[in-house]
Chain A
Amino acid sequence: MRRISILLFVLTVVATTLYAHHGRGATYDMKKRITLKGTVSRVDWRNPHVVIWMDVKDEAGKVATWGFENAGVSQLAQEGYNRNTLKLGQEITAVVNPAANGAATGIVVKVILADGSEIMSRDRGQNPVD
Chain B
Amino acid sequence: MRNRFLILILVLAVILVCFTGLAAAQDDKDKFKARYDSNSENKEFNPHDFTGIWMMTRVDHSLGAPAPPLTPAGVAAMAGRVADSRTGGNGNAPWYACNPMGFPRLNNDDEPMEFIMTPEKLLQVFQWEHRIRYLWTDGRELPSGQNLENLGPAWYGHSVAKWEGNTLVVNTVGLDERAWLDNAGLPKSFHARIEERYTRTNYNTIELQTTLYDPEYYTATYVGGKKTYKIVPDEATTYFGWKGLFAGISEGICAPMNEVDGYNKGFRDVGQAKPKQ
Which residues of chain A have a CB within 8 Å of any CB of chain B? 4, 7-8, 11-29, 44, 46-49, 51, 67, 69, 72-74, 76-78, 80-83, 98-101, 103, 105-106, 125, 128, 130
Q: Is the CB of B85 within 8 A of A25?
A: yes
Contact for B90 among A11, A25, A49, A103, CB less than 8 A: A25
Given pairs A23-B92, A24-B268, A80-B244, 10 additional interface contacts (CB within 8 A): A4-B9, A12-B20, A15-B20, A17-B20, A21-B254, A24-B90, A26-B275, A100-B88, A105-B270, A128-B31
Question: Across the interface, which residues of B come within 8 angstroms of A72, CB to CB?
Answer: 252
Quick check: is B217 within 8 A (CB to CB) of the other chain?
Answer: no
25 A–B contacts from the bound complex (CB under 8 Å): A8-B13, A11-B17, A13-B85, A16-B86, A17-B20, A17-B21, A17-B84, A18-B86, A19-B24, A19-B61, A19-B110, A21-B95, A21-B254, A23-B264, A23-B268, A24-B90, A25-B84, A25-B88, A26-B86, A51-B266, A73-B251, A77-B250, A99-B270, A106-B271, A130-B59
Interface centre among A11, A26, A46, A128, by most chain B C-beta atoms within 10 angstroms, is: A26
Return chain B residues, CB-CB under 8 Å to A7: 9, 13
* B264 in contact with A15 (CB, 8 Å): no
CB neighbours (8 Å) of A22 from chain B are 95-96, 259, 263-264, 268
Residue contact A23 to B93, C-beta cutoff 8 Å: yes
Chain B residues near A17: list those with CB within 8 A: 20-21, 24, 83-85, 91, 183-184
How many chain B residues sit at the interface, stated as a range, is: 35 or more
B contacts with A: majority SS: loop
Number of A-B contacts (CB under 8 A): 166
Query: Is B132 part of the contact surface with A, judged by Cβ < 8 Å?
Result: no
CB pair B271 A48 closer than 8 Å? no
Chain A interface SS verdict (over half): loop
Contact check: which of B250, B267, B275 meets A74 at CB < 8 Å?
B250
Judge whether A103 and B184 touch: CB under 8 Å: no
A-chain residues with CB within 8 Å of residue B196 when the two chains form the complex: none
- In the complex the two chains form, is B244's CB within 8 Å of A77's CB? yes
- The answer to whether B17 and A101 have CB atoms under 8 Å apart is no
Q: How far is the CA of A49 from the CA of B263 in the complex (A)?
A: 8
Contact A48 B263 (CB under 8 A): yes
Q: Does residue B111 face the partner (Cβ distance < 8 Å to A)?
A: yes
